Structures are given as C-alpha cells and as structure tokens.
Structure 1
C-alpha cells in the first residue's frame, strides 16, 4: 500500500506538469497600413507623400480633361464631315490615352513603393514593434500577424484585431 501512494503522487504531479505545460496559443492581427495612416499622418514624410499623391492626381486629372476635350473636338469634326481632322484627333486621343494609362501605372507603383518605405522605416517599426510586444505579452497573445503581409489569413474574428488598441497605445505614448 505504501508503494502505491508515492506512485499515485508521481503520476498526479506528472499530469499536473503536463497540464501546466500545455499553453493555449492565442493569435492577434494588426492592420499595419491603418496604424501607419492613423498614427503618422502628421509626420513630415507623410505630408510629403500626400503632397506628391495630390500632384500626381492633379496631373492625371489634367490629362483626362485634355482627352475629353479632344473627344469633343472629334465629335464636332465628325459632325462637320472633316475626315482628315477626325483621323488626326483619333490618333491623338489614342496616343494620349495610352500615355495616361502608362503614367497612371508608373506613378501608382512609385507612390506604393514610397508608402511601403515609409511604413518600413526603422523609427516607425521600432515604435510599433515595441508596442505590439507590450500588448501581446500583457494580453497573452503568442503570435501577432500582419493583415497585409500575410496573405494566408482567410478569416479572423474582430476580437483578435488589436489594430485600434495599438493606435491608442502609440498615441498615448506620443502624448496625443
């Protein structure tokens, strides 16, 4: 009988140790673009990015308006029966439309790269990662995933999205 008690105690402590070793894995997600937009909107680099975006949009609007004016001229030339003018305007419209399409693609790609560089700046990342680490450790998350970077996320519950909490925490630390 005496041998059974220590054996039962050993088994009991082994089970207890196993239960303690099993940890529930908790995940959280963060929308880094939203954090970037909300927290760093006032920075000089962001203002420069937004100004560049506005300039690109102004140029796109100007080119679009020119093409629309050419289309109106084209319609008037057709109504007059001026085939030479119609052909010249069709060529001009086609050329300018193709240029606008290429310009738009190029500038969109440039702006996207600039935005990514801003979001990847070491100061930004250091602050955000420090704050993510604090939130994750204090709330028991074992892993935090970026919504944009991880295309493997098919669905997540809004309860694991700590984006707004991160923005509030960063803002509080910055004294905003």
Structure 2
C-alpha cells in the first residue's frame, strides 16, 4: 500500500512540475523568400531581375575577354615576344580595373533598387501583422529571421512559418 501511495505521490508531483514548465516555441521565417514570392509578379521586381541578368551577362563577357587576353599574353611569352606580352598585360590591367569599377557601380545600383523594393512600408506593416497573428495563433514565443544566420545555429522545419506568411500575404 505504501508503494502505491509513493508511486501516486511521485506521479502527482512530477505532473505538477511538468505542468508548470514553460516550453518556449520559436519560429523562423525566410523573409527573403517571402519577399521574392510576394513581389515576383510586380513590374519593379521584373525590372530588377532583368537588370541583374544584363549585368551578369556583361560581367561574363568581360571575364571571357580577360581570359582570352591572358591566353594571348601566355602565347606571346611562349614565342618570346616580350613587347606584345607587356602591351597585352597593360590591356588586361585596364580591363580588370574597368570590370572592378563596373561591378562595384552596378552592385551599388542593384542594391539601391533592391532596398527601394524592400522598404515598402505597406508591405512591412502587412508582413509584421501577419507574422504576429500566425505567431500568436501558433503559440510561438519568438520568430526569428533566417537572414540573420549568426543568430540561428539550428532549427527544425516544423517551426518555419514562411509558407504560412506567404499564403496569408497572397490572400
């Protein structure tokens, strides 16, 4: 009889302790994916993507030219034509400097476009309201953005609410 009372007492105490435990539920959201999905059909995003592709094509073209010049320089050196190799090296340096400046300029331009798209107040008000509603309904204690990767070392897919946010924004 004492064993039954002891067992029931331990069961009661452990149940009471477990009931008092607060289990923190953390949610994560891929805001970049939400943004891309939500805005993918907008003209501004299509313009941004088009500009990005044009920029990449120019960089690829310039990189191919630089590789071609490197091959020419190597051939000149192989044939003992030091003067032509030096001229080609000068041309390579000029084109490399231009490519670096072009890349810096275009990246700044693309970043400005992306920031302008991302800074839509209406979008963010809607996004935060939806995140708040989903978090409260789902019992989440905190929602973290995946873009701040240094704050998340691991997460379970079961706490990712990205798809719910996208579906709510689309409605």
**TM-score, reference length from structure 1:** 0.74
Which stretches of structure 1, 4 residues or longer, exceed 6 Å deviation after superposition? none
Offset, 1:125: 1.0
| 3-state SS of 1:151 partner | helix
User: How large is the RMSD of aligned CA atoms in angstroms?
Assistant: 2.5
Structure 1 residues 45-69: Cα deviation after superposition (integer angstroms, max 9, x where no partner): 1111111111211221221122123
SS at match of 1:132: helix
Q: CA separation in 1, counterparts of 2:116 and 2:22?
A: 37
Gaps of 5+ in 2: 1-15
Q: C-alpha distance in 2, partners of 1:123/1:88? A: 56
- Listed as ranges, the matches of 1:130-141 within 5 Å are 130-141=129-140
The answer for the alignment partner of 2:57 in structure 1 is 58
Q: CA separation in 2, counterparts of 1:26 and 1:69? A: 56
Pair 136,149 (structure 1): closer, same or farther in 2 beyond 3 Å: same
Structure 2 match to 1:99: 98
- Matched residue count: 154
Once the two structures are superposed, residues 91-132 of structure 1 have per-residue CA deviations (whole angstroms, 9 ceiling, x without a partner) of 111221233234324433442343233223112212211221
Partner in structure 1 of residue 152 of structure 2: 153
Normalising by the residue count of structure 2, what TM-score does the alignment of the two structures yield? 0.76
Partner of 1:6: none
Alignment partner, residue 81 of structure 1? 80
Show the 5 A alignment for 1:164-175: 164-171=163-170, 173=171
Give 1:29 deviation, angstroms.
1.0
CA contact (8 A) 1:33 1:119 kept: no
Distance 1:42 1:83, change over 3 A: same
